[in-house]
Amino acid sequence: MLRLLVAAVIAFVFVGGWAWVERSCIYPYEYRSYIETSAASRRTDPYLVAAVIKHESKFDPYARSDGGALGLMQLMPQTAEWIARQLGEPFTEDYLYDPALNIRYGVWYLAVLEDEFGGNDILALAAYNAGRGNVRDWMERFHWNDQFNEIDAIPYPETRLYVRRVLEDREQYKRLYDE
């Protein structure tokens, strides 16, 4: 019986089931409408946003990091409060568990970082992960500009890995969902 089940799974994967596994398990695209609406409003790549969410929270709207970041896009409450002030909106920390708001704020912040760093996704993602102050310091100390493209030069190993994986996953999201 077990052999039959294994054979059925293998056949499923080879007959096109792999695409289902990739889309459902490896590269989920939950909250797609929220992602695409927010990304379009800020002229941000929705696949980049999906890749950020995958790495930040694995699409868990109730995710909470040890450092206190909350929700799908793992926003720090202080950052989200600043975003709310910029947008003229009320804010409480619990709002960050709302997928629509968390994505909207996360996309807004990512777009601000992209603008601040000249549209450079590497620098914007590094700032999203390590903080914009750190990236500004690195730019000054290492004489980087907005043409920076050397991921291996990022001083923090965790941030290097984060940027590399998010950019790789963006390409997978494009491949799987670009219709």
Residues 175 and 50: their CA atoms lie apart, in Å, by 13
35 and 50 in contact (C-beta within 8 Å)? yes
Burial string for 100-116 (b: 16+ CB within 10 Å, else e) reads ebbbbbbbbbbbbbbeb
In angstroms, the CA 108 to CA 118 distance is: 15
What b-and-e string marks burial along 161-171, b requiring 16 or more CB atoms within 10 Å of the CB? ebbeebeebbe
Q: State phi, psi for 100 to the nearest 5 degrees.
A: -65, -45
Residues annotated as catalytic (active site), given as ranges: 56
Q: Please give the Cα distance from 59 to 73 (Å, whole number).
A: 8
Structure-token pair, residue 61: 């709207």
Residue with tokens 């926003």: 75
